[in-house]
Amino acid sequence: MRILGIETSCDETGVAIYDHDQGLLAEALHSQIAIHQEYGGVVPELASRDHVRKLLPLIRQLFADADIGPESLDGVAFTTGPGLVGALMVGASVGRSLAWAWGVPAIGVHHMEGHLLAPMLEAEPPEFPFIAMLVSGGHTQLVEVQGVGHYHLMGDSLDDAAGEAFDKTAKLLDLPYPGGPELSRLATQGNPERYRFPRPMTDRPGLDFSFSGLKTFALNTLQDAAKTEGEPIPEQTRADIARAFEEAVVDTLMIKCRRAVRETGIKRLIMAGGVSANQRLRERIGEMMAKEGGAAYYPRLKFCTDNGAMIAYAGCQRLMAGENDGLSFSVTPRWPMEELSGLSQAG
């Protein structure tokens, strides 16, 4: 089965063609960073308009890169939630229309299921069952995965997700958008011994996350530095604060992942979502899983952020299992992953 995948949930327009037998045939991505940079964050209306401009040209480029035509497709998959409602509507309406025009089935895909299954695109994918840590700008979740659609939510973010906390703290440090990667770059110059931030909710049972307090702690630390060192705050101090913040987030995520592995006895852990590209986090998770006698799995860096390949793969699994959304479609900006149906077979 050969599937076109479309991802337009936020500020990246992603398309890809996935073949169940041959793997990923082609993928293309357009980022809107330049559009939203001057505003310091995503402007939903601008995001939707740019998806409209870029989606069809990207799909034409995709077919040229794969050297195939629409007649070779067996289905179309598109993100229908969670995400920005206007952005989701662009991808869903275009995807459903193309599927109708080409006479192939279409299916809406859960954005986070796409992230969860992204490591399956790699040469050595994990076997089921595994623990998934989904860590992005909007979500920080620990999920026990028995198969495609068979998900048990073990822990969730109670307030700010890890990626959101990265971005907000980066803004406090006057770093450009997108803030998370910029904060990580600054942290490499920081002194790890100067500051120590709290590791939220690690001193109590459970697997839930809370990162809003870390942002407040960073703000208070910056304000104290301004009083003692003057403004503008020296670059080294800003780097030291960035390092302390990153270490606190990484430690917290690692501790919760280790707790989940020990509670379930499952020795395979996948990490996906935008924050999974963080190199310090990958190092710590890899070291922890080696000590636990297990293994960690990640998507390649370009598939950590939003992309069409993960949507094409997830859609392929569901279409192969006989699911089909019919001619109607809707989008769901808020969509708990536990509501997804489990597949009796996964390819």
Task: Let me know: does 247 contact 216? Beta carbons within 8 Å.
Answer: no
306 in a labelled binding site: yes
Residue 276, exposed/middle/buried by CB under 10 A (0-12, 13-18, 19+)? buried
Both tokens of 244, joined, read: 């302390």
Task: Let me know: does 136 contact 220? Beta carbons within 8 Å.
Answer: no
- 81: alpha, beta or left, given left = phi > 0 and alpha = psi -120 to 50? left
251 in a labelled binding site: no
Find the helix packing angle between 212-229 and 162-172, rounded to 10°: 20
Sign of CA dihedral 81, 82, 85, 87: negative
Pick from 317, 249, 244, 236: nearest CA to 281 = 249
110 in a labelled binding site: no
- Round to whole Å and give the CA distance between 98 and 92: 10
180 in a labelled binding site: yes
278 in a labelled binding site: yes
43 in a labelled binding site: no
Pick from 93, 94, 138: nearest CA to 115 = 138
86 in a labelled binding site: no
Q: Which residues are annotated as a binding site?
A: 111, 115, 134-138, 167, 180, 278, 306
Q: Which residues are annotated as a binding site for Fe cation?
A: 111, 115, 306
Q: Which residues are annotated as a binding site for substrate?
A: 134-138, 167, 180, 278
